[in-house]
């Protein structure tokens, strides 16, 4: 029999534990490099100017109400989200073989895809995740009953991509496995394959009949260029792959708490693709119904207003450049400071890595010293959020890092 006394206490989520420790630290020097959200140069949350505009438009709309959205979400939003990620001229869109549903941000999109594969894939293959990956991937795929395994990704030696390890693991994985790929700005390492490496990855996936599953949480936020950050997904689609994509609008719109996202299923090119895709859409709608009934309205309305208006879209691209530009500047600034100090080790990876995070290579002991002695907070794998650095704390951080690794 089930008794509630049998439920053991779960361990605290490490990231939330870190945030709590930071809040409780009373030092005025403290630096939060754990945070997974953009901060401006004053370490404050940043509401994108274009989002403020869209918000004003939304609130002046006399027809605005609080009715339910359709099960698959706001149609103007999902259509625009699909074009944004696949490209307006995508063959998948032209051939009616892409279906899109609005989800509870990127997490909900990964979950919906995982649930769909667990339910409809006849063999329930193992899901291969990069080592390391966003910790939630492990739980999301495990929770729907899929087995997970890892493929090598990060080389501790080069602090870059272990492409040989990755390719040989993908080669060795049982044919037809599910391969989760970060579309850009890999979390937690900041290491992305080059376009040439993506082509090699695609070719092994093709050869082994694997199913590529893209997670895209940082489009436009990584390089500042929306097309460039979606290049890998568009390449796979052009190659005719069947694939699915989890798309988050948390980072690129700063809509973290509003939970705006989309899930896209792209059927393989072929004569029956449009019919197959319609069937998949109908099943996804049933899954969505039992999970959340209808997605939340506010974030998708904001994103939809921006994505469907050329002038606002152009302003959004500027806002993306503001965020990605500040982060790239912090990367340069940090590398320069460490090199100027002659800090032991090589620091090229700070600028060759991209997106919100950098895998510094600091070990657990060093991470602990930085926290206890310097009031600098980061995850124990040595990942720092570049958005936590700013012109006021970068000198302090560079000095702390220098002292700690000597």
E-assigned strand segments in 156-235? 160-161, 178-182, 211-216
Map the footprint of ligand PMP across residues 128-157, applying CB under 6 A: 134
CA angle 367, 381, 253 (to 5 degrees): 105
Quick check: 267 binds ligand PMP (CB under 6 A)?
no
Q: How far apart are CA 31 and CA 16, in angstroms?
A: 16
| CB closer to ligand PMP, 107 vs 360 | 107
CA angle 229, 234, 238 (to 5 degrees): 160
3-class secondary structure, 42: coil
For ligand PMP, which residue of 250, 280, 306, 370 counts as binding (CB under 6 A)?
250
| CB closer to ligand PMP, 191 vs 273 | 191
For ligand PMP, which residue of 32, 192, 215, 242 counts as binding (CB under 6 A)?
215
Quick check: 383 binds ligand PMP (CB under 6 A)?
no
Map the footprint of ligand PMP across residues 61-120, applying CB under 6 A: 105-107
Q: How far apart are CA 94 and CA 180, in angstroms?
A: 26
| CB closer to ligand PMP, 115 vs 401 | 115
Least distance between ligand PMP and beta carbon 355 (Å):
9
Give the containing element (helix H, strand E) for 31: strand 31-32
Least distance between ligand PMP and beta carbon 311 (Å):
26
For ligand PMP, which residue of 130, 189, 223, 248 counts as binding (CB under 6 A)?
248
3-class secondary structure, 180: strand
- Is residue 198 part of the annotated active site? The answer reads no
211-236 in b/e burial notation, b at 16+ Cβ within 10 A?
Answer: bbbbbbbbbbbbbbebeebbbbbbeb
Least distance between ligand PMP and beta carbon 383 (Å):
11
Least distance between ligand PMP and beta carbon 217 (Å):
4
| CB closer to ligand PMP, 379 vs 404 | 379
Give the containing element (helix H, strand E) for 263: strand 260-266
Quick check: 223 binds ligand PMP (CB under 6 A)?
no
Check 46, 198, 251, 316 and give the catalytic one.
251
Residue at token pair 């006394």: 5
Least distance between ligand PMP and beta carbon 250 (Å):
4
Quick check: 393 binds ligand PMP (CB under 6 A)?
no
Least distance between ligand PMP and beta carbon 34 (Å):
12
For ligand PMP, which residue of 90, 130, 187, 189 counts as binding (CB under 6 A)?
187
3-class secondary structure, 244: strand
- Is residue 134 part of the annotated active site? The answer reads yes
Least distance between ligand PMP and beta carbon 358 (Å):
14
Distances (CA, A) of 305 to 57, 180, 266, 323: 8, 31, 25, 20
Size of the site for ligand PMP (CB under 6 A): 13
End-to-end CA distance of the chain: 57
Check 46, 134, 347, 374 and give the catalytic one.
134
- Is residue 229 part of the annotated active site? The answer reads no
DSSP string computed for 286-306 = HHHHHHHSS--SHHHHHHHHH
| CB closer to ligand PMP, 235 vs 256 | 256
Q: How far apart are CA 386 and CA 39, in angstroms?
A: 9
| CB closer to ligand PMP, 36 vs 295 | 36
Q: How far apart are CA 229 and CA 195, in angstroms?
A: 11
| CB closer to ligand PMP, 222 vs 401 | 222
Least distance between ligand PMP and beta carbon 138 (Å):
12
Check 215, 316, 319, 374 and give the catalytic one.
215
Binding flags for ligand PMP, 31-60, as an x/- string (CB under 6 A): -----x------------------------
Beta-bridged to residue 148, according to DSSP, are 127
| CB closer to ligand PMP, 220 vs 261 | 261
Identify whether the C-beta of residue 257 lies closer than 8 Å to the C-beta of residue 239: no
Residue at token pair 């510094």: 360
Supply the angle between the helices 49-59 and 310-341 in degrees, to the nearest 10.
150
Identify whether the C-beta of residue 379 lies closer than 8 Å to the C-beta of residue 35: no
Which positions are annotated as active-site residues? 134, 215, 251
Point out which residues bind ligand PMP (CB under 6 A): 36, 105-107, 134, 182, 187, 215, 217, 248, 250, 256, 261
């Amino acid at each position: 029999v089930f008794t509630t006394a049998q439920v053991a206490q779960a361990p605290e989520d490490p990231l939330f534990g870190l945030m709590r420790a930071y809040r409780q630290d009373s030092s005025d020097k403290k630096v939060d490099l754990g945070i997974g959200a953009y901060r401006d140069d004053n370490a404050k949350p940043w509401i994108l100017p274009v989002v403020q505009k869209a918000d004003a438009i939304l609130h002046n709309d006399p027809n605005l109400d609080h009715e339910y959205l359709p099960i698959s979400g706001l149609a103007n939003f999902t259509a625009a989200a699909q074009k944004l990620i696949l490209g307006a001229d995508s063959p998948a869109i032209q051939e009616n073989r892409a279906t899109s549903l609005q989800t509870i941000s990127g997490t909900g999109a990964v979950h919906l895809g995982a649930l769909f594969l667990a339910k409809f894939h006849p063999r329930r293959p193992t899901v291969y995740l990069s080592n390391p990956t966003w910790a939630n991937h492990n739980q999301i795929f495990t929770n729907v009953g899929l087995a997970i395994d890892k493929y090598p990704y990060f080389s501790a030696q080069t602090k870059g991509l272990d492409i040989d390890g990755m390719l040989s693991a993908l080669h060795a994985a049982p044919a037809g496995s599910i391969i989760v790929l970060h579309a850009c700005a890999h979390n937690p390492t900041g290491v992305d394959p080059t376009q040439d490496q993506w082509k090699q990855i695609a070719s092994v996936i093709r050869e082994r009949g694997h199913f590529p599953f893209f997670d895209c949480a940082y489009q436009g936020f990584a390089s500042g260029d929306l097309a460039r950050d979606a290049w890998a997904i568009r390449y796979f689609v052009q190659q005719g792959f069947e694939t699915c994509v989890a798309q988050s609008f948390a980072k690129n719109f700063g809509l973290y708490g509003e939970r705006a996202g989309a899930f896209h299923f792209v059927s393989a090119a072929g004569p029956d693709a449009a019919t197959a895709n319609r069937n998949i859409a109908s099943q996804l709608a049933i899954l969505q119904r039992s999970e959340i009934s209808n997605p939340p309205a506010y974030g998708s309305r904001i994103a939809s207003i921006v994505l469907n208006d050329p002038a606002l879209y152009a302003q959004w691209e500027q806002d993306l450049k503001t965020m990605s530009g500040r982060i790239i500047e912090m990367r340069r600034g940090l590398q320069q400071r460490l090199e100027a100090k002659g800090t032991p080790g090589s620091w090229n990876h700070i600028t060759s890595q991209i997106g919100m995070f950098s895998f510094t290579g600091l070990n657990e002991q060093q991470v602990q010293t930085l926290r206890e002695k310097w009031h600098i907070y980061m995850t124990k794998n040595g990942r720092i959020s570049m958005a936590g650095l700013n012109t006021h704390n970068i000198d302090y951080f560079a000095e702390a890092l220098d002292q700690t690794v000597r």
